[in-house]
Amino acid sequence: MIKKMFSISIIVYGLLAASCISCSKNNTIVEEGTNTNSLETYLKANADYVHNINGFYIVGSAVKPSSGETTAGTTGKDVFEHSIRLFSSFLDQDNDGVIDDDKKELNKWLAQKLVFISGPLPMVDKISAANLVAGKGLYGMSMQTDNWPYIKDYNGKGWTISKLNSSTWRPQAFNALWEETFHTITEAFSRVDPEFKFTTGGVLRKYMEDDIAAKTYDITEQNTAENGNYDKVTAVNEYIHQIWAINFAGHSDKLNVHQKKALEFMKKKKVPMQVDAGYTKMIGTKVK
């Protein structure tokens, strides 16, 4: 059964996620070999927690998450440390505690182009804006702990679906941190691989538009809810996360022909298809 995003909090989540991803297309790219010492100094001064995975920085706030759907007792440090474990698992698909050889390039792309931030929106905005002003060319992807749900025991499975026909669908009892870390992974792909780009001409963009043209997938409901601000660049990244989540939960047979093409394309490009909900290792270096 498709779960619609009817609650105000979920609509806000969709809106903010859309604005986060859509504005990324206007950012510049940091050059390989850029000295990150000043970036690290800045992050240490403006975030409560900082972690470095070969130049890819993950930062967090100690402010207690305030989203109404978040598991009671969750701390800012909980969200930050969970984000490290998720990224570590995405990069370590065989769970041996070492970045896989075929994920080293992905780690490099993440380091060159993105920073991940968990915390309330004002903190996210401050760090993102300052990175750009400092000329690093990095874009801040985020988990906004004052707006989006964090469900501690979410494992990506245990739910059913009949079909994917709307951009508003999310799994039940959903942990937004899973989605935002995955979006960060696919944002990295989109910035280095012309076939993976979310703009017109990209392969995934074509599959989504074919799905819409066939009237088997809809983005108009979400676009209306967001006052016309749900653009197709954002929609593609949301679309492929939905497909990934459905496949991860073991329901790939519910995907239609366009969605299955998108899934196979992601596999071909070596997008991480698994994440270990119980992963305990933290690859990289604790900075703060």
- Average pLDDT, 10 consecutive residues per value, the chain (288 residues): 31 37 32 58 94 97 96 98 98 97 98 96 91 66 97 95 97 94 98 96 98 98 92 96 98 98 98 97 97
- Residue 99 inside a domain? The answer is yes
CA dihedral 47, 52, 56, 61 (to 10 degrees): -20
- Residue 1 inside a domain? The answer is no
Say how many domains are in the chain: 1
pLDDT for the residue numbered 28: 28
Contacts of 264 (CB under 8 A, 6+ apart): none
Distance, CA of 59 to CA of 49 (rounded, Å): 5
- Residue 209 inside a domain? The answer is yes
pLDDT for the residue numbered 22: 33
- Residue 120 inside a domain? The answer is yes
Inter-residue contact 39 to 136 (CB < 8 Å) = yes
- Residue 231 inside a domain? The answer is yes
∠ Cα 76 81 84 (to 5°): 135
- Residue 114 inside a domain? The answer is yes
- Residue 3 inside a domain? The answer is no
- Residue 92 inside a domain? The answer is yes
Strands 49-53 and 56-60: antiparallel
pLDDT for the residue numbered 137: 81
pLDDT for the residue numbered 267: 98
Q: Which of 33, 37, 30 is nearest to 136 (CA)?
A: 30
Q: Which domain holds residue 49?
A: 8-286
pLDDT for the residue numbered 128: 87
Distance, CA of 147 to CA of 240 (rounded, Å): 22
